[in-house]
Amino acid sequence: NNERRQWYLFSDTSYERNAHFFSPYQTGDVIWTANFTDWNAALQNVTTIEDAGTQLASVVSNRNNQYHNVNGSVALVSSVEQKSQMVPPFVNPDQPDVQWGYYYSANGRPGVSVREFVGTATSANGYWRFNTPYGYQLGNGYEGDQEDDFKFLFGGAVYRAPDSEFSFYGAYGGLWVMLPEDDEQGGRAMPPFQGAAGGPSGGPLMTIKGEEIDIFAHPMGIRPGTLLEVGDTVSFSAQIAPTLPSEVDVIISTPSGSIRTIKGVANKVGYFYDPLADFIASEAGVYSAEITVTHTGMTSAGMVEAPYPQGSVLGAEEGRFAFYVASPDNAPAVVSSPLPRTLPDDVRLALRLAPSGSSSVSKMHSTVTMPGFLLSQDESPNADFTYDATALHADFPNLDLPGGQLRQANGADTVTLSFLLETINDGGVIEFEGRTATIQGEVLQLGGHNQAPVGDISLELTDSALFVGDTLDAKLKLNAEGDADLYVAVILPDGNFLTIDSKLNISEANSVIPFMLNTKLENNAEIPIVNLPLGDSVAEGSYKFFVVVTRAGSSVFDDSQWLTLAEASFTFGL
C-alpha cells in the first residue's frame, strides 16, 4: 500500500512481504504476478481520482483530508463540510453542502468472478490472493490462477457536489496476467507493448505456442465455435487487452464467399461494439472471422511507434476462427458413441457423432474452447473426434490437468466442444447439423442430448407352453447402459398384433404405443414385461413377443437407432 510509483518491479518492494498492491495506476497499464504464497501478496480493487484539470481540488477544500486522501489521490467518500457534530450525508441527505463520492470496481477473468464492489474510501475485504480458488466457482481449480490466466480490472468513479454544480464520472481499465514460475523479471507493473512507446518494458503479456502476445481481442458476441441457426443475428463485440482505444478490424467470410467488414476503435477502456454491423445469418455452413486489433495511439508512456503492436484472438491460427450456422429446423446432431459420465484418468475423450436422421456425413468441423482461449479448431472427413487435455495443456498451461485437494478431479476448467456436421440427405441436398457439449471440470454435459444405448438385452419367458390357469411371465434381462425407449408387441394367432405399455394398457389392433420412454438402462438389471394369469377367454394358438429397444427420442420405425430386437414365443391351450 506504500508503493507510489506507477511502474515498478515487485523485487524493488520486497520489504513489503505482506504487500497489498493496487491495480496499475494508469488506464491501459498491466500488472503481472505469480503465486506469491511466500509473500502473502494480494491485489486490491480501490478506485480513486485525480483532479486532472477540473475544479475538484477547490470543491473538496473544505472536506476532512484524512478521509479524502489515498497516496495523494482523492478517495471517493460522501461528506458534508468539516465541522463539529457532523451528520453523515447518508443519514441526512437533505442537509446543505452534501457531496457524494463512490466507486464501482469489477475484476474478473473470463468465466470466473473475482471481486465486484461498490463502495467508498478504501476496501477492507476487496482484495484477493493469486492462489485462491475464488469460492470454487465452476471453471476454477483448487490451485487458483494458472500461468497465462488474465483478468480485466475495471473501475468507475463518481463525484457529485450539487451545491457547487460539479459532477465527475470516470472510467478505468487495467489488465492482470499470471506469470510462469520461471519468469526472470518476476512481478511487475508496467506500461504495455514492451517499450514501444518509450517507457520501460514489462515484456509480452504472455507467450502462446512460441508467439509473444502484446495485444489481443477477447470476443464477447460471436466467438470461436459459436453455433447459430439460419435466421439468427451475427453480432461481434470484444474487450481489447490492454484496455486502450485500439483499432479493430474484422473480416467475416460467409459459406458462399461473400465478405462483411467491421471496422472501428474501441472505447477508452478497450470495449468495442458497433450495433450497425450486426447482420442476419442467411446461409448455413462454416463462417470465418479474421480479427485484427492494432494500437497506434497513446499509452501511459507516450505515443506508440511503428511497428505497431498487433494481435488477434488468443489461440487463433493466423488471426482466424470459425463459427457455425446450422440449417433451419434441423434437429441437432447426435453422439452415437458411448458417453462416459466423467473424463477418464488419461483425460482423453473419444466421441463419434452422427446425423439426427438418415443422412450421411461428408465432413465435420470442430472447435474446442475454454473461456478466453481457442484451444483447437479442426475439419475432418469423418465424424470421429478426440479431446486430449494433456496435449492441449502443452500449449495452454492454464488448462487444468487432474488434481484436487479433498478429492481427485480430472479437470477444473469449463471446456466447450462445438461441432458442425456437413451431411447429404437421400435427395443429394447438403445440410448442416450442429451439436455442442460442455466438459465442466471432469463432468461431460450435453444439454437436450441422450446416451445411445449399448449392451446386451434378452427377453425371457418363465414357461412357453401355457394353459388355462397358468401365468404368463415375461421379463427383460439387461446388461446395458444408455437412454432408451422400449416397445413391446404381441403377435396374435390370427396374424394381427397389439402393443402394450408398462401399465398393461393395450393398443388398438396393429397400432403402436410405447412400453417405456426415456429409460436409463443402467438403472435396470431386469424389467418386468407382464405377469398375468390366463383365463379361458384367451384364444388358443401360437403367440410371439417382440421387444424393440431404440435410442430415446428416435422413431421406432428407424431401425438404424435400434439397440436390439428381442423375441420369444409361447403357445396357449395347444
Average pLDDT over residues 6-34: 79
Which pLDDT does position 18 carry in this prediction?
54
Give this prediction's pTM: 0.81
Degrees, nearest 5: CA angle 38-41-44: 165
Q: Cell triple for residue 392?
A: 492441449
Q: Which amino acid is at 60?
A: V
Residue 382 pLDDT more than 60?
A: yes
Give the β-pairing of 360-370 and 373-380.
Answer: antiparallel
Which pLDDT does position 46 carry in this prediction?
75
Please tell me the distance from the alpha carbon of residue 323 to that of residue 312, in angstroms, as a whole number: 16
Please tell me the distance from the alpha carbon of residue 476 to that of residue 547, in angstroms, as a whole number: 9
Handedness of CA 496, 502, 505, 508 (dihedral sign): negative
Which pLDDT does position 554 carry in this prediction?
81
| CATH of 454-572 given 2.170.260.10, 2.60.40.3880, 3.40.50.2300, 3.40.50.300 | 2.60.40.3880
Instruction: Report the mean per-residue pLDDT for the chain.
Output: 88
Q: Which residue has the higher pLDDT, 151 or 130?
A: 151
Which pLDDT does position 36 carry in this prediction?
62
Please tell me the distance from the alpha carbon of residue 369 to that of residue 152, in angstroms, as a whole number: 19
Q: With contact defined as beta carbons under 8 Å apart, do 77 and 171 qualify?
A: no
Which pLDDT does position 61 carry in this prediction?
76
CATH number for the segment(s) 211-326? 2.60.40.2550
- For the purposes of burial, counting CB atoms within 10 Å of the CB of 264, is it exposed (0-12), middle (13-18) or buried (19 or more)? middle
Highest mean pLDDT among 69-78, 116-125, 560-569: 560-569
3-state secondary structure at position 509 = coil
* Window from 84-98, 186-200, 221-235, 334-348 with minimum mean pLDDT: 84-98
| pLDDT 10s digits, 487-534 | 999 999 999 999 999 999 999 999 999 999 989 888 889 999 999 999
Confidence of residue 288 (pLDDT cuts 50, 70, 90): very high
Query: What are the DSSP E strand ranges found in 254-327?
Result: 259-265, 271-273, 279-280, 285-294, 298-299, 302-303, 310-311, 320-326
Residue 194 pLDDT more than 80?
A: yes
Backbone angles phi, psi at 197, to 5 degrees: -110, 10
Share of the chain above pLDDT 90, in %: 57
Q: With contact defined as beta carbons under 8 Å apart, do 131 and 148 qualify?
A: no
Confidence of residue 428 (pLDDT cuts 50, 70, 90): confident
* Window from 2-6, 199-203, 292-296 with minimum mean pLDDT: 2-6
Residue 165 pLDDT more than 80?
A: yes
Confidence of residue 38 (pLDDT cuts 50, 70, 90): low
Intrachain domains 211-326 and 454-572 with the same fold: yes
Degrees, nearest 5: CA angle 376-192-400: 35
* Domain residue limits, the chain: 8-190, 211-326, 334-445, 454-572
Spatial neighbors of 83 by CB under 8 A, at least 6 apart, are: none
Helix then strand count (H, E) for the chain reads 2, 44
Average pLDDT over residues 211-238: 96
CATH topology of domain 334-445: Immunoglobulin-like (2.60.40)
Highest mean pLDDT among 147-161, 230-244, 474-488: 230-244
Which pLDDT does position 64 carry in this prediction?
67
Backbone angles phi, psi at 13, to 5 degrees: -120, 30
> Among all chains, which residue has been given the C-alpha cell 520461471?
182
